[in-house]
Amino acid sequence: MTTKDILETEAAHILQTYKRAPIVLSRGKGVHLFDDAGQEYTDLLSGIGVASLGHAHPGLAAAIADQAATLVHTSNLYFHPLQGQLAARLAELSGLPRAFFCNSGSEAVEACLKFARRYWHTKGDTARTEIVALEQSFHGRTLGALSTTWQPSYRTPFQPLVPGVTFVAAEADALTTAISATTQAVIVEPLQGEGGIRPLPPEVARALQQACDDTGALLIADEVQCGLGRTGRPFYFQALDLRPDLISVGKALGAGFPVGAALVGDRVAAAVAYGDHGSTYGGNLLACRAALVFLEELMDHGLLNHVRTVGAIAQERLRALADRHPAITDVRGAGVMWGIEVDAEAAEGSDAAAVAAAALDRRLLVNRTAGNVVRLLPPLTITADEFNAALDTLDASFDAVLGGAS
């Protein structure tokens, strides 16, 4: 099929929920992608934080092929050898002893919300139904997850949503006031992704934890985007000394294979019973095998340290980029998760979307989020040289859009 045929077939038959860039990607290797004409792109987005080991990782490819030739799926009606292993590894990393496996970040969030509700139901406190979420939050598009997602344009067409959710600014006083004895759970991304790469400030995290401790409200850390090594730590809640009762993970975990999980602490786990929740596909052999390969790379083969080293270099480069371009108002992030905020007042055509388009013209994949933030989420395996070369291209893209730098 020609590129034109592919675009036309999609236009006729794919539901129009996505606005895609007009390129057809058909092959990858490491941090590079290739279109159907064989042109090479540098991928600083990794399929929105998913291709954590880069593209066509040989160890992952071999493990998936081997598992596919052995056994792919059996359902959760029987045991298989890999799910417990994967749960044990995640428990080691998170400190939360139990896992429920699913297939995406939204499902992981749904599971956390359900288990939080179940906890208070088991305790007989059925009046405790309120959920506190943060402004600028993104927790997914399924109805429960969407109910805790802040962006009004995502929510409004789908009302009524799950009731009882209050959105609060990420400020210590606001959180302390909002979290009360009627709060079932508070859900936060320790480092917000879609909302513009915004780390929770340490003093806000302290107030949040204190309010949860004082009121007994459960704390859900949504680590779907920022977790599992992306910031140079297993989880970003660890940088903030938070003590979540539930953690949602997804994206990087399967390194491209769809897998998510709700990680569950002791007090909530004790309240959950047989039959409370389930998933046909969740935690099948193929998904677990892929996730085990990823965690081996991350924890046993030095990938976590690699992210820290490359992250420190990227941070310096990005700060220098911001110094050169007055229209860049902030650079935020950690490890290999960065947001470059462009002046919100910038004239149309010289904003973050224009920078992302200029980067695409130079065959560099980044994206725009939260209106005016250029987002970078490269594979965790990106080398310092690759990152530096990509940032040269990004610098040229900023020059092209915002005019020559100082």
Ligand X SMILES: Cc1ncc(COP(=O)(O)O)c(C=O)c1O
Question: Interface with ligand X includes 110 (CB under 6 A)?
Answer: no
Tokens describing residue 324: 């050169």
Question: Interface with ligand X includes 256 (CB under 6 A)?
Answer: no
Taking CB atoms, the residue at the shortest distance from ligand X is 105
- Three-state secondary structure call for residue 383: coil
Query: Contacts with ligand X in 322-341 (CB under 6 A)?
Result: none
Tokens describing residue 374: 């250029």
Question: Interface with ligand X includes 250 (CB under 6 A)?
Answer: yes
Helix (H) or strand (E) holding 58: helix 58-68
Size of the site for ligand X (CB under 6 A): 15
Shortest Å, Cβ 225 to ligand X: 4
Question: Interface with ligand X includes 109 (CB under 6 A)?
Answer: yes
Question: Interface with ligand X includes 221 (CB under 6 A)?
Answer: no
Helix (H) or strand (E) holding 322: helix 303-324
- CA–CA separation, 193 and 138 (whole Å): 7
Nearest partner of 310 among 394, 190, 390, judged by Cα: 390
Shortest Å, Cβ 199 to ligand X: 13
Question: Interface with ligand X includes 196 (CB under 6 A)?
Answer: no
Nearest partner of 264 among 231, 218, 225, 224, judged by Cα: 218
What amino acid is encoded at 46 in this protein? S
Question: Interface with ligand X includes 105 (CB under 6 A)?
Answer: yes
Shortest Å, Cβ 97 to ligand X: 22
Judged by CB under 6 A, which stretch of 28-36, 78-86, 218-226, 263-271 contacts ligand X? 218-226
Decide if 140 contacts 146 (C-beta within 8 A).
Answer: yes
Q: Which of 110, 222, 351, 386 binds ligand X (CB under 6 A)?
A: 222
Judged by CB under 6 A, which stretch of 102-110, 124-132, 295-303, 343-351 contacts ligand X? 102-110
Question: Interface with ligand X includes 367 (CB under 6 A)?
Answer: no
Question: Interface with ligand X includes 104 (CB under 6 A)?
Answer: yes
Looking from the CA of 207 toward its CB, the CA atoms found within 13 Å total: 17
Q: Which is nearer to ligand X, 30 or 140 (CB)?
A: 140
Nearest partner of 222 among 152, 120, 149, 311, judged by Cα: 149
x/- string (CB under 6 A) for ligand X, residues 171-190? ------------------x-
User: Beta partners for 369?
Assistant: 373
Looking from the CA of 208 toward its CB, the CA atoms found within 13 Å total: 29
Looking from the CA of 389 toward its CB, the CA atoms found within 13 Å total: 13
User: Beta partners for 262?
Assistant: 100, 248
Question: Interface with ligand X includes 386 (CB under 6 A)?
Answer: no
Query: Contacts with ligand X in 127-146 (CB under 6 A)?
Result: 138-140
Q: Which is nearer to ligand X, 110 or 386 (CB)?
A: 110
Instruction: Point out which residues bind ligand X (CB under 6 A).
Output: 48, 104-106, 109, 138-140, 189, 193-194, 222, 224-225, 250
